Amino acid sequence: MSSHNPMYKVMLKKFLEHIERRESSSGWMIIDKGLYRDNSSFCKRDVSRGGEIILNLFAKWKSISDKDIEYEIEHFLKEWDEK
């Protein structure tokens, strides 16, 4: 079990909810990079933070699950504690 401050987990979850804003059209989507990399129709270069690539395509994206969010938060906090 984790020994991290539980408030950190709550704060990080609330932050993700804030940036996703699923009920609004102005939020961000967190998608699986594996699907991005494996789709041969995608441009293979990374986009810098705030950058754009315009693509006309049909794609299937996997949204991050609650279980994946829990894992990523645990992983982040573990690495944070090690710094």
Residue 44 lies in a domain: no
Residue 18 lies in a domain: yes
3-state secondary structure labels for all residues of the chain:
CCCCCHHHHHHHHHHHHHHHCCCCCCCCCCECHHHHHHCCCCCCCCCCCCCCCCCCCCCCCCECCHHHHHHHHHHHHHHHHHC
Residue entry with tokens 């894992």: 71
Query: What is this structure's pTM?
Result: 0.57
Q: For residues 69-76, give the mean pLDDT.
A: 89
Query: Tell me, what DSSP letter sits at residue 47?
Result: P
Domain range enclosing 76: 6-39+57-82
pLDDT tens profile 10-35: 999 999 988 888 888 888 887 776 65
- The predicted pLDDT at position 12 comes to 93
pLDDT tens profile 37-71: 555 555 556 677 788 777 666 667 778 888 988 88
Q: Please state the domain count of the chain.
A: 1
Residue 61 lies in a domain: yes
